[in-house]
């Protein structure tokens, strides 16, 4: 690809940080882990952080550590990465898919109550594409029905609601650090919470069920190998030190796209700003006009690829995935999800994307849209 969909931003300082760990004698469960957890919790504004090997593992732990299991129902969007639903299935609970808000593409608070039953235990809120969800409304519903709230902020590090960072509103939150995220640890994730008991249990579960005072062959819980290496954590610490610069850079790329695409009647750019909210730009996703239905988006994606420009179909609804055709789940009316999802197209988006590359993407997109129209 001449212009990839995403690319990590690795600095010389990042390389040096990882190199220093390789010269040490500690590659796992060492000082870099503790330092990364402290830095992450401090940045987000949570009391505790538990770093693990992926955002998916963090989701799994957030459900397991809160006792969600067999027969419990968890409300979540279908317009999201499949890991949110998979984590619910890992604990033998039932995903209940509800519709999204057509503006933010996040869970629609107005669609939640009709999905609640006597089996509902939690609401899993995804801050989709780094856009903060309507947490005030969701938390009010959760309080009335005594439900847990878990924030999937894997795409939203640094996003805010009225000056407060996402990841601090629910009972627990999770973040991911895959190479396409705002910062990367290569592979990695974290569970954040202000509940010390939840944090302690999550740390036990991530390390084969070993309690704080257990020796290596003592196992208090049936746990998992969700450990993250010192190498990953050193990279995370280094990347986190320039998080504000990264967020500004990504916002500038989004603004450049908006300037080039705004006014094109054949597509709708994402919102640049939200009332009382700050977007943390994870991806840049446009919607094709409603006149395009069926296969045009996928044809457009293929044609962009032939021009050397990689795009993505963010997101394919989970309830329509082959893996979920026979899986036990419930679904509510998903009219908005099923209308918008086939028209979404993620354009190349990463820190070092140049204005010239943005111009190339936009010119090519406009040309191909005209052909499809």
Backbone CA torsion sign across 15, 156, 305, 256: negative
Is 153 in contact with 81 (CB distance < 8 Å)?
A: no
Q: How many CA atoms within 13 Å lie on the side-chain side of 58?
A: 30
Rounded to whole angstroms, the Cα distance separating 288 from 294 reads: 11
Is 261 in contact with 286 (CB distance < 8 Å)?
A: yes
The active-site residue, picked from 165, 181, 260, 278, is: 181
Query: DSSP secondary-structure letter at 29?
Result: S
Q: Is 260 a catalytic residue?
A: no
Helix, strand or coil for residue 364? helix
Rounded to whole angstroms, the Cα distance separating 343 from 303 reads: 15
Task: Write out the DSSP string of 142-174.
Answer: HHHHT-EEEEE-TT-TT-EETTEETTSSSSEEE
Query: DSSP secondary-structure letter at 215?
Result: -
Provide the pairing of β-strand 94-98 with 330-331: parallel
Enclosing H/E stretch for 73:
strand 73-77
**Residues designated as active site:** 181
């Amino acid at each position: 690809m001449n212009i990839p969909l995403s690319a990590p931003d690795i600095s010389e300082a990042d390389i040096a940080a990882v190199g220093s760990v390789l010269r040490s004698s500690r590659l796992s469960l060492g000082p870099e882990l503790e330092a990364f957890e402290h830095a992450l919790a401090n940045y987000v504004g949570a009391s505790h952080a538990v770093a693990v090997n992926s955002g998916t593992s963090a989701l799994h732990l957030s459900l397991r550590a809160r006792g969600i299991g067999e027969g419990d129902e968890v409300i979540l969007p279908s317009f999201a990465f499949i890991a949110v639903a998979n984590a619910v299935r890992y604990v033998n609970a039932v995903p209940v898919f509800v519709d999204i808000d057509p503006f933010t593409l996040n869970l629609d608070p107005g669609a939640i109550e009709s999905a609640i039953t006597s089996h509902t235990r939690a609401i899993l809120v995804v801050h989709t594409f780094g856009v903060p969800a309507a947490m005030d409304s969701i938390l009010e519903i959760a309080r009335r029905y005594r439900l847990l709230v878990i924030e999937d902020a894997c795409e939203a590090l640094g996003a805010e609601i009225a000056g407060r960072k996402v990841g601090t509103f629910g009972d627990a939150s999770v973040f991911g650090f895959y190479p396409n995220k705002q910062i990367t640890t290569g592979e990695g994730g974290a569970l954040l919470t202000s509940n010390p008991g939840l944090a302690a249990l999550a740390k036990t579960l991530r390390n084969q069920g070993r309690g704080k005072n257990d020796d290596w062959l003592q196992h208090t819980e049936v746990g998992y190998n969700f450990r993250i290496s010192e190498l990953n954590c050193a990279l995370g610490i280094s990347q986190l030190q320039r998080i504000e610069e990264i967020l500004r850079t990504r916002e500038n790329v989004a603004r450049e796209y908006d300037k080039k695409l705004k006014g094109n009647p054949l597509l709708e750019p994402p919102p640049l700003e939200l009332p009382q909210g700050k977007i943390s730009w994870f991806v840049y996703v446009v919607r094709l006009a409603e006149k395009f239905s069926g296969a045009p988006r996928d044809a457009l994606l293929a044609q962009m690829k032939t021009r050397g420009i990689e795009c993505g179909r963010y997101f394919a609804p989970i309830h329509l995935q082959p893996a979920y055709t026979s899986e036990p789940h419930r679904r509510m009316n998903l009219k908005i999800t099923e209308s918008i999802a086939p028209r979404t197209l993620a354009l190349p988006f990463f820190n070092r994307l140049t204005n010239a590359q943005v111009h190339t993407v936009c010119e090519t997109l406009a040309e191909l849209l005209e052909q499809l129209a």
